[in-house]
Amino acid sequence: MSLLEIENLSIRYGDTAVVDGLDFELDHGESVGLVGESGSGKSQTAMAILGLLPRHAHISGSIRFDDTELVGATKETLNRFRAQRIGIVFQDPMQALNPYLRVGRQLREILVQHNLAEGSDVDARVIEMLGRVGLPDAERQFRSYPHQLSGGMRQRVMLASALIAEPDLLIADEPTTALDVTVQAQILELLEDVRDNTTLLLITHDLGIVAGYCERMLVLEKGRLVDSGATTSLFASPGHAHTRLLLAAAPRIDRADIPTPATGATILGIESAEVSYAERGRERLQAVHDVSLSLRDGETVAVVGESGSGKSSFVRALLGLVPMQSGRVVYAGAPLQGPVDRRSKAQRRDLQLVFQDPVTALNPQLRVHSIIDESLLVHEPQLSGGTRLERVIEALEQVGLDAGYLRRYPHELSGGQAQRVAIARALILEPKVLICDEAVAALDGSVREQVLALLRRVQAETGLAIIFISHDLAVVRAISHRVLVMYLGRLIELADNATLFARPRHPYTRALIDAVPVPDPVVAPNTAPLQGEVPSLLNPPSGCVFHPRCDHAIDVCANKLPVARTINGSRVACHRADELELGR
Amino acid sequence: MSFFRNRAISVSGGIILATAVVALFGPWISPNDYISTDFDRLLLAPTTTGGHFFGTDDLGRDLFVRTMLGIRVTLLVAIVASFVSLIIGVTYGAVAGFVGGRVDAAMMRFVDTLYALPFIFFVILLMVAFERNFLLIFIAIGAVNWLDMARIVRGQTLSLKEREFVAAARLTGVSTGRIIFRHIAPNLIGIVVVYLTLTIPQAILVESLLSFLGLGVQEPRTSLGALVNAGVNLMEGASWTLLIPAGLLAMLLMSFNFLGDGLRDYFDARHSS
């Protein structure tokens, strides 16, 4: 008999069905991945199982958990099942934990509420659980507030709270999406270790995670189950077109068509950039320290690193959006100085930025036409309205949209369409350098592939140079000519794509590459991910900033800051760069 | 979503509009005026004879016309006060928020100082220093009402300034003036309109309070607050002198509040999905 049986489940809001006739079963002890793009109904299904859908949701069909019907069940029944029989881990642990209660108290609550332990047993079990999820010094963390923990530690606490009542089913809804890639690898390994025989329903958009950690997978498209089966067989021979589409859109870090190196003339150079922010009552926060980079015509340089690496500060400083304390930016042979408002119009025109979140980057009060037209209005005011309209339509067509979008407001666009509008706004000025700050991070796989293809095409046609900031190394591998790796505001390694991925010279680069899940069940997941988390910029480690997390650290690493040097064409900042053999 | 399909907006807006129209034209069709006394008809209960729909007061004056007059004054106060708060408050707040830094700090400390003045003392002082004057009420209410507006607009401007679409405009080379008028101002409209409809009932309440205390509109002119004040003294035996103006005041206040709520929902729904 199955643990969970879902039959003909439908969830509607008004006239819109977000889940439409869903059927599936979960057996005891198995791990199942629920995948699909945004809006496919993954999270809604999880919420329905937990009875957490909002009141105005209309739900029909049947969800039987261990032979108890959960659709239409009373609050008391649902409460008995939640936490005790079904555990949940949400995407954002900061929102799922109560900021006013100590961690220990929140976990105690679960045991006490369900009468699972009494007296001093309660605290002992909570501390034991915190230890099991890998919280160092669990007794101290028992008394911590959520804000005192790092993102990864908070997600460990979430996992502890989901598992402390020893549920039969654990639902993890995008449990690592908000985390850095190295921490993601840690949490996924931990999840696999601590769940024992608990059935796992893992909701994710990342096929790499499914390939590594799920025995079976269910593919959702627009609220319908379109494909299901063993992970290995679905990856080998996907049954449905949508599964094929998802697989095709999942970039693989272990093999990719690497772009051939660019040979154009150097167009942009940044020398020894230093960026720091004033912190009230504290020392200045050093966000970028001595980073140099040059860019050729028609070249894509990726800037990668985890949160706090300073990659966004670096490009914002070169654009003049934040002040650069020292260092030089040279564009087309002439220095670029000062804040963006003091730069000449021509200089501003040539360097354009595409933001991560198209929703905040587009003025909600303006229509698509006005948004794109404004660029022209500023730089080519002599053009007539008709000419400008033609150019705007051309720009929309260049990014795969058409004149039908001119009258729309940003909120009437999907995420992918909005990002294309943002790209069109930048490209209509025919810039020489386009800076993409996590420009594809918020997009679904298939849309991301379209946007990347668009960037490649424009580059081939116009010789555009691109700085591509990303935390996703698999995407970086597929699009960039060269890669700059940053950590805590410092240059770690700068090398061309083929060299960096095949033979990284810095242990951090190696760890980053290893942390990326590969969407192929044949490739075993990384069972020994990089430990620890990115330290605070306010209190960086001595010597080499990476040494506390580094497996290869020696005495000198803790005392002396490594200077970047050139080895076989790669810039690398590691004391042991020439002796370590990190290629695979 | 259509503007008028919002129930809160259409119902409360309709009530306010209807009240204003009746207050404007009602006195014309009434055979009575607001000042004539009729000692044969003191404290007459509401009746249709002689057009005394709301009865008469203790001096035999027609209360229908006086109430309509009161509504006019009350609505006028509301409009003037919100206009003052709109002009001064929005400009002041937008400048403080956009310029930022020390200018912002200085401007906002000035607002804090004005906040710290005890309002009723302030008004009494004005009344003592100058003649009791209709205009003084407007000045007093206006002087206080723009403070909230300035704070709200400043806060909103500060957050809008940091939004990425403003950064995108700066990168493109859009001028500061154009950024303010094309990118910041339109995004302020929603909150300003909503807040405006919420300051109106505040202004009405303040005027009523002043009139109730005898500091507001002076006899023989009147306002809803002054009528309530008069009604309180007569409510034993002539409850209509209190209930009618008080009921109308409550209705107007609630309508403005609902209108504000409706507008907020409308603007929220329009530009976020």
| Cβ-contact A186, A16 below 8 angstroms | no
Per-residue tokens: A14 = 């008004």
B262 to chain A nearest CA, in Å?
A: 19
B186–chain A Cβ distance below 8 A for any pair? yes
The tens digit of pLDDT for each residue in B187-207 reads 888 888 888 887 888 888 888
Q: Answer whether A361 sits within 8 Å of B164, measured CB to CB.
A: yes
Q: Answer whether A366 sits within 8 Å of B182, measured CB to CB.
A: yes
A322 to chain B nearest CA, in Å?
A: 11
Query: Is the pLDDT reported for residue A16 higher than 70?
Result: yes
B155 to chain A nearest CA, in Å?
A: 18
Closest-CA residue to B34 (of B76, B75, B79, B73)? B73
Nearest residue in A to B273, CA atom? A411
Query: What percent of chain B shows pLDDT beyond 70?
Result: 95
Residue in B162, B165, B188, B272 to test binding to A, most A beta-carbons within 10 Å: B165
Closest-CA residue to B89 (of B165, B53, B143, B34)? B143
Angle between helices A120-132 and A151-163 (to 10 degrees): 130
pLDDT score at A201: 96
Strand-strand pairing, A58-65 and A68-69: antiparallel
Minimal Cβ distance to A321: which of B163, B167, B187:
B167
> Right CATH number for A4-249 from 3.40.50.300, 3.40.50.2300, 1.20.120.140, 3.40.50.970?
3.40.50.300
Q: Answer whether B168 sits within 8 Å of A349, measured CB to CB.
A: no
Query: Is the pLDDT reported for residue B124 higher than 90?
Result: no
Q: Answer whether A340 sits within 8 Å of B172, measured CB to CB.
A: no
Per-residue tokens: A98 = 């109560």
Q: Answer whether B165 sits within 8 Å of A361, measured CB to CB.
A: yes
Distance CA A196, CA A166 (A): 10
Residues of A with CB below 8 A from B164's CB?
Answer: 355, 357, 360-361
A462 to chain B nearest CA, in Å?
A: 19
Distance CA A540, CA B187 (A): 40
Interval A298-321 mean pLDDT? 92
Q: Whole-structure pTM over 0.90, yes or no?
A: no
Per-residue tokens: A408 = 């729309």
Domain A266-361+431-572 adopts which CATH fold?
Answer: Rossmann fold (3.40.50)
Interval A85-107 mean pLDDT? 89
Q: What CATH number was assigned to the domain covering residues B3-20+66-218+250-271?
A: 1.10.3720.10
| Cβ-contact A247, A310 below 8 angstroms | no
| Cβ-contact A571, A500 below 8 angstroms | no
A422–chain B Cβ distance below 8 A for any pair? yes
Closest-CA residue to A50 (of A22, A25, A87, A24)? A87
Residues of B with CB below 8 A from A364's CB?
Answer: 187, 271-272
- Distance in Å from the first CA to the final CA of chain A: 45
Across A552-564, b (16+ Cβ under 10 Å) vs e yields bbeeebeeeebeb
Minimal Cβ distance to A348: which of B164, B173, B189:
B173
Distance CA A305, CA A267 (A): 24
Domain coordinates in residue numbering, chain B: 3-20+66-218+250-271
Residues of A with CB below 8 A from B167's CB?
Answer: 321, 353, 355
Residues of B with CB below 8 A from A319's CB?
Answer: 171
Minimal Cβ distance to A364: which of B174, B178, B271:
B271
For A140, half-sphere exposure in the C-beta direction (CA atoms, 13 angstrom radius) is: 5
Count other C-beta atoms under 10 Å from residue A167's C-beta. Answer: 20
Interval A69-78 mean pLDDT? 89
Identify the bridge partners of residue A493 per DSSP, sorted by sequence position.
A485, A572
pLDDT score at B2: 59
Contact map slice: B 138-167 vs A, CB within 8 A? 163-165, 167
pLDDT score at A281: 67
Query: Is the pLDDT reported for residue A234 higher than 60?
Result: yes
Distance CA B174, CA B178 (A): 6
The tens digit of pLDDT for each residue in A19-60 reads 999 999 999 999 999 999 888 999 999 999 998 898 889 999
Distance CA A153, CA A133 (A): 9
| Cβ-contact A275, A457 below 8 angstroms | no
C-alpha distances (whole Å) from A462 to each of A436, B67, B236 are: 17, 74, 88
Sign of the dihedral through C-alpha A414, A419, A422, A426: negative
Minimal Cβ distance to B170: which of A341, A345, A411:
A341
Residues of A with CB below 8 A from B183's CB?
Answer: 363
Closest-CA residue to A392 (of A381, A405, A382)? A405
B170–chain A Cβ distance below 8 A for any pair? yes
A224-230 sheet: strands from edge to edge: A86-89, A169-173, A199-204, A31-35, A216-221, A224-230
Query: What integer best gives the mean pLDDT of chain A?
Result: 90
Strand-strand pairing, A86-89 and A68-69: unpaired
Angle between helices B63-84 and B224-234 (to 10 degrees): 140
For residue B92, the Cα-to-chain-centroid distance in whole angstroms is: 20
Contact map slice: A 197-256 vs B, CB within 8 A? none
DSSP of A352-396: EEE-S-HHHHS-TTS-HHHHHHHHHHHH-TTS-HHHHHHHHHHHH
Q: Rg of chain A over CA atoms, in angstroms?
A: 25
A48–chain B Cβ distance below 8 A for any pair? no
Residues of A with CB below 8 A from B182's CB?
Answer: 363, 366, 374
Interval A328-355 mean pLDDT? 90
Secondary structure letter of residue A115 according to DSSP: T
Closest-CA residue to A114 (of A74, A148, A144, A87)? A87
Q: Name the helix (H) or strand (E) containing A202.
A: strand A199-204
Closest-CA residue to A552 (of A529, A582, A525, A526)? A582
Distance CA B29, CA B65 (A): 10
Interval A149-171 mean pLDDT? 91
Distance CA A420, CA A559 (A): 47
Minimal Cβ distance to A348: which of B171, B189, B271:
B171
A4-13 sheet: strands from edge to edge: A16-26, A4-13, A58-65, A68-69
Distance CA A313, CA A291 (A): 11
Query: Is the pLDDT reported for residue A263 higher than 80?
Result: yes
Per-residue tokens: B265 = 């929902």
Q: Answer whether A352 sits within 8 Å of B171, measured CB to CB.
A: yes
Residues of A with CB below 8 A from B175's CB?
Answer: 378
Tell me the three state secondary structure of residue B124. Answer: helix
pLDDT score at B248: 93
Query: Is the pLDDT reported for residue B273 higher than 70?
Result: no
Domain coordinates in residue numbering, chain A: 4-249, 266-361+431-572
Closest-CA residue to A19 (of A243, A231, A239, A226)? A226
Q: Please state the φ and ψ torsions of residue A470, each to the nearest 5 degrees.
A: -160, 155
Residues of A with CB below 8 A from B187's CB?
Answer: 363-365
Residues of A with CB below 8 A from B172's CB?
Answer: 348-349, 352, 374-375, 378-379, 425, 429
CB pairs under 8 A between A and B: 67
B168–chain A Cβ distance below 8 A for any pair? yes
Q: Answer whether A348 sits within 8 Å of B164, measured CB to CB.
A: no
Residues of B with CB below 8 A from A353's CB?
Answer: 167-168, 171
Query: Is the pLDDT reported for residue B132 higher than 80?
Result: no
A340–chain B Cβ distance below 8 A for any pair? yes
Distance CA A336, CA A295 (A): 15
B7–chain A Cβ distance below 8 A for any pair? no
Strand-strand pairing, A465-470 and A58-65: unpaired
A239 to chain B nearest CA, in Å?
A: 34
Residues of B with CB below 8 A from A357's CB?
Answer: 164
Q: Please state the φ and ψ torsions of residue B56, each to the nearest 5 degrees.
A: -130, 165
Per-residue tokens: A252 = 């693989």
Query: Is the pLDDT reported for residue B268 higher than 80?
Result: no
Tell me the three state secondary structure of residue B164. Answer: helix
**Two domains, one topology: A4-249 and A266-361+431-572:** yes
For A67, half-sphere exposure in the C-beta direction (CA atoms, 13 angstrom radius) is: 1
Q: What is the ipTM of this complex?
A: 0.80
Per-residue tokens: A398 = 């260049």
Interval B68-74 mean pLDDT? 90
Q: Answer whether A374 sits within 8 Å of B173, measured CB to CB.
A: no
A360–chain B Cβ distance below 8 A for any pair? yes
Interval A488-514 mean pLDDT? 93
B105–chain A Cβ distance below 8 A for any pair? no
pLDDT score at B3: 67
Angle between helices A241-249 and A445-462 (to 10 degrees): 50
